[in-house]
Chains A and B, each alone.
With several copies, the nearest count.
Chain A
Amino acid sequence: MVFQVQKSDDITIVDVDGQLIVGNRQELKQKVLEELERGERKFLIDFANTGYIDSSGLGVLVSLSKKIREQEGELRLSGLNEDLRTLFELTKLDTLFIITDTREEALKGL
């Protein structure tokens, strides 16, 4: 798994390639928090290339979303396939996040 970070204007985009699970979630957390400390405020995490997410991966998203909101920033999620959407729905986390189908939609709104 690899987390790739790019910038598009003032938005920080993170691609999750592979799985977001207990073995690597800290890496994602650290990457996003570094950017937040550097002053970035708009974040998009794109799951278009993600296999699956476990509960600790979901947990990291929840905790990042809190930290970003504390700094008056915003986090969006995009590119969730049907499988991944199911996980958000089962845990009701779809009500907590702004989730868009495509990366483009998310970028437009941010």
Chain B
Amino acid sequence: MRSDLVLELPNDIKAIEHTVEFVVRRCEPSCEDQKRLRLNFRVALTEALSNAMLYGNHRDPAKRVRVEVTVKSCSVIACVTDEGNGFDPEVVPDPTCPMNLCKSGGRGVFLMRKLLDEVRYNDRGNSVTLVLRYGAPQNELRGASA
């Protein structure tokens, strides 16, 4: 299936806010859950983009981040891919453990997972697919209502 929107972005964290805004506006007309699009999807996409730019592409301005967005009748899907070597998303520690609560970092992957219905990494770990579902059959653990 062809994506509804593809972006190749410069590796510039200043571009994240406008990019997220642009993608969300594009999804708005078709999305039946404006509230979770506005909060959950927006924050999760911001996390995915900043991880791609900061860790995947190591802030290298010559690298790019690719975003593919697909809007379906019951979901919005965004795939964010960087040019890095990836990582193992399974070993990210739980930032809500008392030991980690006072750390300034480590909440990005956790938030994505909490906020969305599905967060899937490729094997290499340099590409993450974010899924926000709405309409009937929904994941019970869907973040904002947790």
Do A and B touch each other in the complex, judged by CB within 8 A? yes
B66 at the A interface (CB under 8 A): no
Cβ A55 vs Cβ B101 within 8 A: no
Q: Which secondary structure characterizes the binding site on chain B?
A: helix
Q: Interface residue tally of chain B, by bracket?
A: 20 to 34
Given contacts A19-B17, A21-B16, A92-B96, contact A55 B47 (CB under 8 A): yes
Chain B 48-76 residues near chain A, CB threshold 8 A: 50, 54
A11 at the B interface (CB under 8 A): no
Smallest CB–CB gap between B116 and chain A, Å?
Answer: 12
Which residue numbers of A lie inside 8 Å of B, CB to CB?
1, 19, 21-24, 52-56, 58-60, 62-63, 66, 83, 86-87, 90-93, 95-96
Smallest CB–CB gap between B1 and chain A, Å?
Answer: 25
B108: nearest residue on chain A (CB-CB)?
A55
Q: Provide the residues of chain B in CB contact with A22, threshold 8 Å.
A: 13, 16, 46, 50, 54
A31 to B99 Cα, complex, angstroms: 28
Cβ B39 vs Cβ A86 within 8 A: yes
Q: Provide the residues of chain B in CB contact with A95, threshold 8 Å.
A: 101
Given contacts A54-B46, A54-B47, A91-B95, contact A83 B16 (CB under 8 A): no
Which residue numbers of B lie inside 8 Å of A, CB to CB?
13-17, 35, 38-39, 42-43, 46-47, 50, 54, 95-96, 101-108, 110-111, 114-115, 143-144, 146
A54 to B20 Cα, complex, angstroms: 12
Q: Provide the residues of chain B in CB contact with A83, threshold 8 Å.
A: 35, 38-39, 144
| 13 further contact pairs, Cβ within 8 A, besides A54-B46, A54-B47 | A23-B13, A52-B38, A55-B47, A55-B107, A55-B110, A59-B103, A83-B35, A83-B38, A83-B144, A86-B143, A91-B107, A95-B101, A96-B101
